[in-house]
């Protein structure tokens, strides 16, 4: 009788999904995105890899699920890129502010942001959050050189999130969303499609 | 015989300065900038307020000293504003990158940035770092409405610092300083003097 059986769990029982997710979070945190595989997560959780695929899909999907945010950033950004590069800066801001300003969603995003800004989670942002979650979507609308443009976009979005929500500078926290869209939209548009040096 | 005398210290002895600084850091951290006075710091350190003034100058100066950074941001920014609003965006970036890219200075700045981004030090940035250290200097060159423009400038600078140094996105960390100046300079200029909505 194995340890698992002795604890009375069945594959597919409600806590199995949570256990896979906990194993995934531990692995992404310790080994990074590249060092984590569906197979190793399955082994750590004591389940078959097929069950991990069944619950969570691809490794990208598993990573997004492990972030435990109430929205999938890829879905939020889909309409931003669907209409092409024109006006994408403003649409990106509107989509971002729409989820961040939602009181039902903000606490989860804030917890994620604080964790990503923590001392040890630089690799999570560097190796996975931007390249896996954000980069491929934004790459569809940049004019060229995504390797320069996407990090510049990221720098302004990170600064917006930190200034408006994490540190909460009063003027940034209280600025009406549409004012922010009008003032910062041209900046994101510059980074996405403008004449970069 | 007081506790201080029993420990054999004299006012003005080398450790007195360090003790005042430690008391100041504790007070700024616990009570915030507004809740801290030269008098209360002096009392906590067991010295005369005149000695605190003698060592550190004003409360603003004491705050900058308590940040324990190897440069005074007000001195770094003085030449940025001395030449007026034209080109201030690029000069601000060049000055910022000059100190942050200096390997002798960067570790101290990075420690400060991590501490300011930490869970409990939002008030330090909100109530003191930007209004006391950065705001008054930048206010000299903004076109109008400093209450909107300075937080927008801060949002991009915070994002730059986090992306290039704290999280260290490879493309941002490796971008040559002059490329960054050329690409991000127009953004800071837009926030400082551009046509804001």
Q: Give every CB contact of residue A79 below 8 A, 6+ residues apart in sequence.
A: A91, A95
Distance CA A121, CA A13 (A): 31
Distance CA A110, CA A161 (A): 9
Together in a domain, A53 and A99: no
Together in a domain, A25 and A93: no
Of B150, B152, B163, the CB nearest to A183: B152
Distance of CA B179 to CAs A35, A162, B63, Å?
33, 24, 34
CB A97 within 8 A of CB A183: no
Of A66, A93, A118, which residue sits at a domain end? A66
Q: Which chain B residues are Cβ-neighbours of A182 within 8 angstroms?
A: 196-197
Together in a domain, A147 and A182: yes
DSSP state of A142: -
CB contact under 8 A, B187 and A151: no
Q: What is the domain range of residue A119?
A: 73-193
Q: Is A59 exposed, middle or buried (0-12, 13-18, 19+ CB in 10 A)?
A: buried
A14-37 burial, b if ≥16 CB within 10 A, otherwise e?
Answer: eebbebbbebbbebbeeeebeebe
B63-77 burial, b if ≥16 CB within 10 A, otherwise e?
Answer: bbbbbebebebeebb
Find the DSSP H helices in chain A. 3-6, 14-31, 38-45, 49-56, 59-66, 73-82, 88-100, 106-117, 122-124, 135-138, 146-161, 170-174, 177-193
CB B77 within 8 A of CB B92: yes
CB A129 within 8 A of CB B124: no
Distance CA B38, CA A79 (A): 54
pLDDT at A128: 76
Three-state DSSP state, B12: coil
pLDDT at A122: 60
Q: For B141-178, what is each residue's pLDDT tens digit?
A: 998 999 999 999 999 999 999 999 998 888 999 999 99
Whether B139 shows a pLDDT value over 50: the answer reads yes
- Closest by Cα among A54, A61, A62 to A22: A62
Per-residue confidence band for A109, with pLDDT thresholds at 50, 70 and 90? confident
Together in a domain, A118 and A51: no
Q: For B5-59, what is each residue's pLDDT tens digit?
A: 444 445 556 689 999 999 998 888 788 788 899 999 999 999 999 999 999 999 9
DSSP state of B10: -
Q: Which chain A residues are Cβ-neighbours of B187 within 8 angstroms?
A: 156, 187, 190-191
CB A152 within 8 A of CB A134: no
Q: Is some CB atom of chain A closer than 8 A to the CB atom of B96?
A: no
Of B150, B156, B170, the CB nearest to A159: B156
Q: Which residue has the higher pLDDT, A121 or A5?
A: A121
Together in a domain, A78 and A175: yes
Mutate to test the interface with B, among A118, A143, A159 (most CBs of B within 10 A): A159
CB A41 within 8 A of CB A62: yes
Mean per-residue pLDDT for B112-134? 73
> Which chain B residue has its CA at the smallest distance from A120's CA?
B167
CATH, residue A116 = 1.10.357
pLDDT at B148: 93
Of A114, A159, A175, the CB nearest to B162: A159
Q: Is A131 exposed, middle or buried (0-12, 13-18, 19+ CB in 10 A)?
A: middle
Together in a domain, B169 and B134: yes
Distance CA A48, CA A52 (A): 7
Together in a domain, A84 and A107: yes
CB contact under 8 A, B125 and A167: yes
CB contact under 8 A, A125 and B158: no
CB A81 within 8 A of CB A88: yes
CB contact under 8 A, A169 and B126: yes
Number of domains in chain A: 2
Of B11, B32, B66, which residue sits at a domain end? B66
Whether B182 shows a pLDDT value over 50: the answer reads yes
Whether A4 shows a pLDDT value over 60: the answer reads no
Distance CA B196, CA B72 (A): 30
> Which chain A residue has its CA at the smallest distance from B159's CA?
A159
Together in a domain, B89 and B184: yes
Find the DSSP H helices in chain B. 3-6, 14-31, 38-45, 49-56, 59-66, 73-82, 88-100, 106-117, 122-124, 135-138, 146-161, 170-174, 177-193
Distance CA A73, CA A126 (A): 16
Mutate to test the interface with B, among A147, A152, A175, A188 (most CBs of B within 10 A): A152
CATH, residue B37 = 1.10.10.60
Q: Is some CB atom of chain A closer than 8 A to the CB atom of B196?
A: yes
Together in a domain, A98 and A32: no
Q: Is some CB atom of chain A closer than 8 A to the CB atom of B186?
A: yes
Q: Is A56 exposed, middle or buried (0-12, 13-18, 19+ CB in 10 A)?
A: buried
Together in a domain, B176 and B80: yes
Q: A194: phi > 0 → left, psi -120 to 50 → alpha, else beta; which? A: beta
Together in a domain, B51 and B111: no
Instruction: Tell me how close the Cα of B41 comes to any Cα of chain A, in angstroms.
Output: 26
CB contact under 8 A, A155 and B171: no
pLDDT at B121: 58
Together in a domain, B92 and B43: no
Positive or negative: CA dihedral B94, B96, B97, B98:
positive
Whether B125 shows a pLDDT value over 80: the answer reads no
CB contact under 8 A, A155 and B154: no
Of B66, B97, B119, which residue sits at a domain end? B66
> Which chain B residue has its CA at the smallest distance from A117's CA?
B167
């Amino acid at each position: 009788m194995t340890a698992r059986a002795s604890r009375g769990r069945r594959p597919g029982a409600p806590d199995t999904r949570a256990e896979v997710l906990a194993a995934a979070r531990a692995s992404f945190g310790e080994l990074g995105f590249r060092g984590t595989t569906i197979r190793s997560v399955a082994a750590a959780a004591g389940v078959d890899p097929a069950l991990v695929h069944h619950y969570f899909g691809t490794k990208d999907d598993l990573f997004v699920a492990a972030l435990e945010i109430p929205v999938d950033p890829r879905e939020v950004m889909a309409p931003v890129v669907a209409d092409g590069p024109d006006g994408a800066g403003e649409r990106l801001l509107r989509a971002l502010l729409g989820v961040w300003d939602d009181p039902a969603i903000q606490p989860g995003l804030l917890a994620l942001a604080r964790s990503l800004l923590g001392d040890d989670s630089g690799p999570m942002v560097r190796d996975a959050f931007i390249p896996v979650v954000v980069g491929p979507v934004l790459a569809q609308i940049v004019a060229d050189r995504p390797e320069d443009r996407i990090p510049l976009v990221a720098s302004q979005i990170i600064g917006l999130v930190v200034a408006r929500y994490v540190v909460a500078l009063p003027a940034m926290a209280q600025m009406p969303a549409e004012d922010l869209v009008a003032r910062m939209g041209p900046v994101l548009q510059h980074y996405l499609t403008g004449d970069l040096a």
